[in-house]
Amino acid sequence: MHRFLKILILITFLWAVTLPWTLNYLSTLSPINDTKKITLRKRDAYPTQHEEKVVIGVVACGKKPLEDSITLLKSAILSGIHHGLPALDAILFADDDNLHNLDLKVGELLASLKGIRFRYEIHPVIFPAKHHDEWRSLFKPCASQRLFLHAALPHINEILYLDVDTLVVGNLRKIWSEFGNMGTLQAVGIVPEHEVPSIGWYNRFAQHPFYPPLGLNTGVMLMNLTKLRGGFEWEEAILKSYKRFKDQIVYGDQDLLNIVFYHHPDAVYLLPCAYNYRPDHCLYGWNCKSAEIKNGEGIQVVHGNRDVFHNDKTCPTFRKLYKQFQKFDMSKQDYLKDLVMPYKNGVQKQDQHIYATVTQNCDTIENLFFKFVSS
Ligand SMILES: *[C@@H]1O[C@H](CO)[C@@H](O)[C@H](O)[C@H]1NC(C)=O
Ligand SMILES: *[C@@H]1O[C@H](CO)[C@@H](O)[C@H](O)[C@H]1NC(C)=O
């Protein structure tokens, strides 16, 4: 009896604490079989059906998910506004620890926005209904969410999936327009893991199949979810690959996707490295041609893997860029005047110093950011 009372009090307490938060949402929907609610918030009216719109997907789990996801959202919104995108939807997933705070933070961001129709949804982690319990037991819930966007988001047809440690520095409309170049079977637009075989990881070390010749990096993916739902047996392919190679997998779900796409190369649309620019593209010498073309558009999305957005030691250039977006005040500051131009001007000064002293390759990539502005 005593124990029952305790539980009752706990339940009442939890209910009271979470009630205001639950009521906060303008609407809730729950399209797939999961015990948790999916939340949806919006500020402006929905875009009309034919209005141009970009949908980005971000999974906020890990060590610094809040700060990183807000900084990423800022970079995407700013790119959208600058390039005249009418509407942007952000679909966010968070683990239980971050769900509430992420909602608060994005709500604040939303309140300070002008010049774009921005909507967002925040979801708890969701697995497909089929094999539900098996997925739960096999995968770290948050980290593998990107494998299941097709099932978690039945109301979404296409999405630009971005790792939480990425920043949009190019043109979001141009990135999205790559969907138009995909063939009928191509379901996912994705960048190779490497450009140069001599520093490739998969071709030198992997103990499992991978997309040839150098593997794929899954930090940025243009995903046609309709095709993933209807095309091949996506979930079965993942499950089969996992069971067969689970002891050989080193980089989690990226390795899994490499195995799946090894068996389904037709589903891949290769994007140039400028869409997922990483330290590996400059640390051992510049090797991302698409970012370096003179008069080209430069880097579209920067990916701060190796923790370079938070760690000064490896590639300070990446960290500096991250800081620039992090401290940017959306309600007061101007993208071009207060972020892009000072950055470019600062870079030029620094470059002279850098060229004079000989330094790491990554220190001189800064002119590849924001190439849409000529300095
Ligand atoms: C949802 O899934 C659970 C098992 O995970 C099952 O017991 C339940 O019947 C399902 N509910 C619906 C409505 O499909
Ligand atoms: C995604 O795939 C569906 C089904 O093949 C197709 O109708 C749709 O046009 C594709 N979306 C884009 C943006 O290409």
In terms of domains, do 248 and 325 share one?
no
β-strands 158-162, 53-60: how paired? parallel
pLDDT score of 261 more than 60:
yes
Number of domains in the chain: 2
Nearest to 258 by CA among 248, 179, 158: 248
pLDDT (average), residues 239-267? 91
In this structure, are 168 and 261 located in the same domain? Answer: yes
Q: Are residues 256 and 145 in the same domain?
A: yes
**Do both 183 and 308 map to the same domain?**
no
For ligand 2, the distance from its centroid to the CA atom of residue 190, given in whole angstroms, is 16
Query: CA 305, 310, 315 angle in degrees (round to 5)?
Result: 65
Domain that holds residue 329: 279-368
Bridge partners of 55, per DSSP, are 89
pLDDT surpassing 70 at residue 40: no
Residue 13: inside a domain, yes or no? no
Residues 290 and 253 in one domain: no
User: Does residue 145 contact residue 59 with C-beta atoms inside 8 Å?
Assistant: yes
User: 178 CB less than 6 Å from ligand 2?
Assistant: no
- Atom 9 of ligand 1, nearest CA residue: 33
What is the SS3 assignment for 39?
strand
Answer yes or no: is 15 within a domain.
no
Is there a domain that residue 328 lies in?
yes
Which of 239, 273, 307 delimits the end of a domain?
Answer: 273
**182 and 62 part of one domain:** yes
Strands 158-162 and 301-303: unpaired
Q: Range with the lowest mean pLDDT among 27-41, 60-74, 243-257?
A: 27-41
35 CB near ligand 1 (under 6 Å):
no
- pTM confidence score: 0.83
Whether 285 is covered by a domain: the verdict is yes
Q: Where are the alpha helices (DSSP H) in 130-232?
A: 132-138, 149-152, 172-177, 202-205, 225-230
127 falls within a domain:
yes
Taking the centre of ligand 2 as the mean of its atom positions, its distance from the CA of residue 230, in whole angstroms, is 11
Q: Kindly give, in sequence order, each residue whose CB lies less than 8 Å from that of residue 145, ignoring residues fewer than 6 positions away.
A: 59, 61, 93, 125, 126, 152
Probe residue for ligand 2, chosen from 176, 221, 226 as the CB with the greatest number of ligand atoms within 8 Å: 226
What is the rounded distance in angstroms from the CA atom of residue 81 to the CA atom of residue 297?
A: 17
Q: Are residues 195 and 308 in the same domain?
A: no
Q: Is 33 in the pocket of ligand 2 (CB under 6 A)?
A: no
Which listed ligand is nearest to 267 at the C-alpha? 2
What confidence tier does 271 reach under pLDDT thresholds 50, 70, 90? very high
Domain end call among 273, 291, 315: 273
Residue 204 has pLDDT above 80, yes or no: yes
In tens, the pLDDT along 103-162 reads 999 989 988 888 899 999 999 888 888 877 777 777 776 778 889 999 899 999 999 999
- 71 and 197 share one domain: yes
Which ligand 1 atom sits nearest the alpha carbon of residue 133?
5
Q: How remote is the CA of residue 243 from the centroid of ligand 1, in Å?
A: 24
Instruction: Dump pLDDT digits (tens) for 62-76.
Output: 667 899 999 999 999
Mean pLDDT, rounded, of the chain: 84
Q: Identify whether 213 is preceded by a cis peptide bond (ω within 30 of 0).
A: yes
Distance from residue 54's CA to the centre of ligand 2 (Å): 14
Domain identity same for 246 and 345: no
Residue 52 lies in a domain: yes
CA 357 to CA 375: how far, in whole Å?
23
Residue 133 Cβ < 6 Å to ligand 1 = yes
User: What atom in ligand 1 is closest to the CA of residue 132?
Assistant: 5
Is the CB–ligand 2 distance for residue 117 below 6 Å? no
**199 and 126 in a common domain:** yes
Of 119, 118, 136, nearest in space to 127 by CA: 136
Is 5 within the bounds of a domain?
no
The whole-number pLDDT of residue 23 equals 33
Give yes or no: residues 269 and 241 share one domain.
yes
Which residue type occupies 101?
N
358 occurs within a structural domain? yes
In this structure, the residue with its CA closest to atom 7 of ligand 1 is: 33
Please give the distance, rounded to the nearest whole angstrom, from the Cα atom of residue 15 to the centre of ligand 1.
23
359 shares its domain with 268 = no
What CATH number should be reported for the domain holding residue 143? Answer: 3.90.550.10
Q: Which of 252, 273, 294 is the last residue of a domain?
A: 273
